[in-house]
Structure 1
């Protein structure tokens, strides 16, 4: 489906017009999958989530996947999703073909997406996105920082970690049980009760934001309904007095290689003992069903990163892929 020509090239600068006047914009369909994958090689260091989510994105009535084509070939993609009861557009999934990178294609596509959203959803007030810590002064001239989490990225062989957990987990649980109750896995009704609680929103979540595998949401009923349709485990330390809450996205295959999986855990709260307990509980729930290699990303309060990294290296004996980095949620007003 070709998008209407009235929105085809909202590009004010003469240089952009001259360089990118041959771009055409289309809404993606299932037939575009192979072309999209062909421009996505090595994106996100092999941790690309799109192969596992593309089909569900196409079915999401609040989402539009926009392609930029040049001479009939897909050279760029961006996804825009309406959240927060229609007030916010979540921008994610940006990718540009290797041969077109550094030429301003992403800037033109993002500008087009903004114009498209303003035309189709005039009630949208804010653009929100999540970035890593490669943000510079120019980014903060455009965006305001909402919150940030420390990223702990590790990799391990599932079979090795199963054995390691069997050796140490019971001892760690016994130690923690003297101070903390075991984590509580929530059902859908409990998710609403906990994550809409004002104390949890104000004191536990990252600046009143639920971040689920790089997707930031306000803690409101409609957003919880969206999240509850996903394969996610929700966990807290206590139903009555919640200090730490976490979401674990079910593992899925990633294109880094055969038998590679990605496991993402988002943890909110500042008590490192409770954070560790929920991290281990999520690992225990999913590791038994995994085989091969796993890339596990845990996002947490930045102040806890060093302690958790040391715990993972020394006791779990996993390999840290990189040092400290940050996940930044930023937003800007629609203009």
Structure 2
């Protein structure tokens, strides 16, 4: 099709009056777990965020949100969507150009744009974006009448195999203190990225404060491993023991989604490669998350983890009902100058 029709597509700021139209092009997004319906109006009030619509003949055919992060040095594109009947016609490219045109004069310190996608990244796309990191996604659905059983099942699996070692959620002060040492981010976070619910961030203090304000639940733990080749060891009998950089998890407060029947979405982002710690963190995050659910609500739990943990987490969730969500999470980054050229 000729691209002449793009001349009739306008990119305009989103308003509260556009809500219904944006929702009309959002059916089936994120397998029914789209959190934009309950976030839309909150995002409009966020001074660090801008939201744009693509309109064709005054009808909404596209949407994207742009959040400035990393102390103003980067921006994250979120919830990009195009109406089903307009896909493949260059709408995304038009939106991207508008983002670059908006960022350059308004946010002069922004040098890169990131986005997280569930799609496999083809080589052609890598000519425009740099693939920063990939994680596996494991998800289960727990209707209200299965919640108690699920928690008991996972608790039994953790305690019977590894004993009782409770975790305590970090306070805001402890979160900030954890990342004062730059080596924490280097060891825990691939590429230094703290990926929270598809939002890829650096550990800049402003980002940590943003997540604290959102009520994210943080768990951090250390674990010991037997090793003969480690950076720093202590002797315990004949066994060399090292204290690893630990394991980190972030739990996003459950959020209502269009799936129906009072269902909520609960994202748990895992950082680290130790399978024992991963299971403990999932258990404690789930316990916390269930406590935050409204009476009678169910939840879809989504775990994001390093690829090496896929089989361990899949086995850990045996007996729970799988949810057909995405299988991978890819974080892409693009220089804003490159974005402007496309």
TM-score (norm 2): 0.86
Counterpart position of 1:321:
323
SS at match of 1:61: coil
Q: Which of 35, 39, 43 in structure 2 is aligned with 1:53? A: 39
Matched, 1:302 2:307: yes
Question: Once the two structures are superposed, what CA deviation does each residue of 1:104-155 show, in whole Å capped at 9, x if it has no partner?
Answer: 2122112111211112212211111111242101111111111121111221
SS at match of 2:11: strand
- Alignment of structure 1 residues 175-214 onto 2, 5 Å: 175-177=161-163, 181-214=165-198
Counterpart position of 2:206:
222
Counterpart position of 1:118:
104
Q: Deviation at 1:221? A: 0.8
Cα distance change on mapping 1:99 and 1:227 into 2, 3 Å: same
Cα distance change on mapping 1:324 and 1:86 into 2, 3 Å: closer
Contact 2:253 2:292 in 1 (8 A): no
Structure 1 Cα separation of the partners of residues 141 and 323 of structure 2: 7
Structure 2 Cα separation of the partners of residues 253 and 194 of structure 1: 31
Matched, 1:163 2:149: yes
SS at match of 1:106: helix
Counterpart position of 2:30:
44
Contact 2:133 2:332 in 1 (8 A): yes
Counterpart position of 1:245:
248
Matched, 1:19 2:5: yes
Contact 2:158 2:279 in 1 (8 A): no
Counterpart position of 2:271:
268
Indicate the RMSD between aligned Cα atoms, in angstroms: 2.1
Question: Once the two structures are superposed, what CA deviation does each residue of 1:54-76 show, in whole Å capped at 9, x if it has no partner?
Answer: 12211111110011111212111
SS at match of 2:133: strand
Contact 1:213 1:266 in 2 (8 A): yes
Structure 2 Cα separation of the partners of residues 289 and 85 of structure 1: 31
Structure 1 Cα separation of the partners of residues 170 and 244 of structure 2: 14
Q: Deviation at 1:167? A: 5.5
Structure 2: any 5+ residue segments left out of the alignment?
224-242, 338-342
SS at match of 2:110: coil
TM-score (norm 1): 0.88
Contact 1:182 1:237 in 2 (8 A): no
Q: Deviation at 1:324? A: 8.0
Counterpart position of 1:332:
334
Contact 1:151 1:300 in 2 (8 A): yes
Q: Deviation at 1:96? A: 1.1
Question: Once the two structures are superposed, what CA deviation does each residue of 1:161-196 show, in whole Å capped at 9, x if it has no partner?
Answer: 313423562563364236xx4222001000001133
Matched, 1:132 2:118: yes
Structure 2 Cα separation of the partners of residues 176 and 195 of structure 1: 28
Structure 2 Cα separation of the partners of residues 322 and 109 of structure 1: 29
